[in-house]
């Protein structure tokens, strides 16, 4: 904490907790490759869960590769926004 010149009260800075993802979980628990649709739906579910447990931020990283299906992260963020109420959403990487 730091003190302001006009006050002896310490300034408190809020903590912000969040997650970001590359959408890089491309296999299920048994090692089977997931489709891009399944990966994107899992990302939406993760965003919903992050909101439910009280995290402040959920970010998605945009990628343009065959492995990661996130070339349109803003669309996934819009889907999460339509199903959440408190969490802040944003881009973690934009190409």
Instruction: State the chain's mean pLDDT as an integer.
Output: 85
**pLDDT, tens digit, for every residue of 49-80?**
999 999 999 999 887 777 677 778 888 999 99
Supply 43's token pair: 């990302």
Q: At 59, which helix (H) or strand (E)?
A: strand 57-61
**Residue 5: is its pLDDT beyond 60?**
no
| pLDDT confidence of residue 74 | 87
8 A C-beta contact, residue 88 and residue 47: no
Per DSSP, helices labelled H in 3-85 are: 36-52, 73-83
| pLDDT confidence of residue 50 | 96
Question: What is this structure's pTM?
Answer: 0.77
Cα dist. 15→34, 57, 67, 84, 88 in Å? 35, 11, 34, 21, 14
| pLDDT confidence of residue 89 | 96
């Amino acid at each position: 904490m730091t003190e302001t010149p006009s006050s002896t009260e310490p300034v408190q800075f809020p903590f912000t907790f969040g997650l970001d993802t590359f959408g890089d979980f491309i296999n299920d628990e048994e090692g089977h490759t997931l489709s891009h649709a399944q990966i994107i739906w899992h990302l939406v579910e993760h965003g919903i869960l992050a909101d439910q447990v009280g995290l402040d931020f959920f970010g998605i990283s945009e990628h343009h590769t065959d492995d990661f299906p996130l070339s349109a992260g803003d669309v996934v963020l819009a889907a999460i926004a339509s199903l959440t109420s408190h969490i802040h959403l944003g881009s973690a990487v934009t190409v």
